[in-house]
Amino acid sequence: MTQIELINFPKPWFLFKSAMALSLGYMVFAFYRKWRGWSRGIEEPATVSGNYGSVAKIWLAEVILHRQLFALSFSRWFNHLLIFYGFIGLALLPLVAVILGNFGYLAQSTTTPRFYLHAAGYILMKLWGDTFGLMLLSGLVLSGIRRFVIRPAQHTNSQMDVVLLALLFFVTLSGFCLEGLRMTFVPAEVARYSYIGRLFTLPGAYPSEQVRQWLTMTWTVHFLFVALLFAYLPHSKLMHSLLAPVVIGMNAAAEHARKDLYWPEMKKYRAPRSPKD
User: Footprint of other proteins on this chain (CB under 8 A)?
Assistant: 34, 37-44, 62, 66, 68-69, 72, 76, 152-156, 158, 160-161, 237, 239-240, 243-244, 246-248, 250-252, 254, 258, 260, 262, 265-266, 269, 271-272, 274-277
Spatial separation of the C-alpha atoms in residues 2 and 119, rounded to whole Å: 5
Rounded to a whole number of angstroms, the minimum distance from the CB of residue 40 to other proteins is 4
Rounded to a whole number of angstroms, the minimum distance from the CB of residue 15 to other proteins is 31
Count of residues making up the chain: 277
Rounded to a whole number of angstroms, the minimum distance from the CB of residue 145 to other proteins is 16
Q: CA Rg, the chain, in Å?
A: 22
Rounded to a whole number of angstroms, the minimum distance from the CB of residue 158 to other proteins is 8
- Report whether 271 contacts 72 (CB < 8 A): yes
Across 70-87, b (16+ Cβ under 10 Å) vs e yields bbbbeebbebbbbbbbbb
Q: Which is nearer to other proteins, 224 or 261 (CB)?
A: 261
- Report whether 168 contacts 143 (CB < 8 A): no
What DSSP character marks residue 122? Answer: H
CA distances from 122 to 104, 127, 179, 240, 256 (A): 11, 9, 13, 33, 47
Dihedral sign for Cα atoms in the order 54, 55, 56, 62: positive
Spatial separation of the C-alpha atoms in residues 250 and 241, rounded to whole Å: 15
Q: Which is nearer to other proteins, 153 or 205 (CB)?
A: 153
Rounded to a whole number of angstroms, the minimum distance from the CB of residue 58 to other proteins is 9
Rounded to a whole number of angstroms, the minimum distance from the CB of residue 248 to other proteins is 5
Q: Which is nearer to other proteins, 155 or 192 (CB)?
A: 155
Q: Which is nearer to other proteins, 177 or 229 (CB)?
A: 229
Q: Which is nearer to other proteins, 92 or 239 (CB)?
A: 239
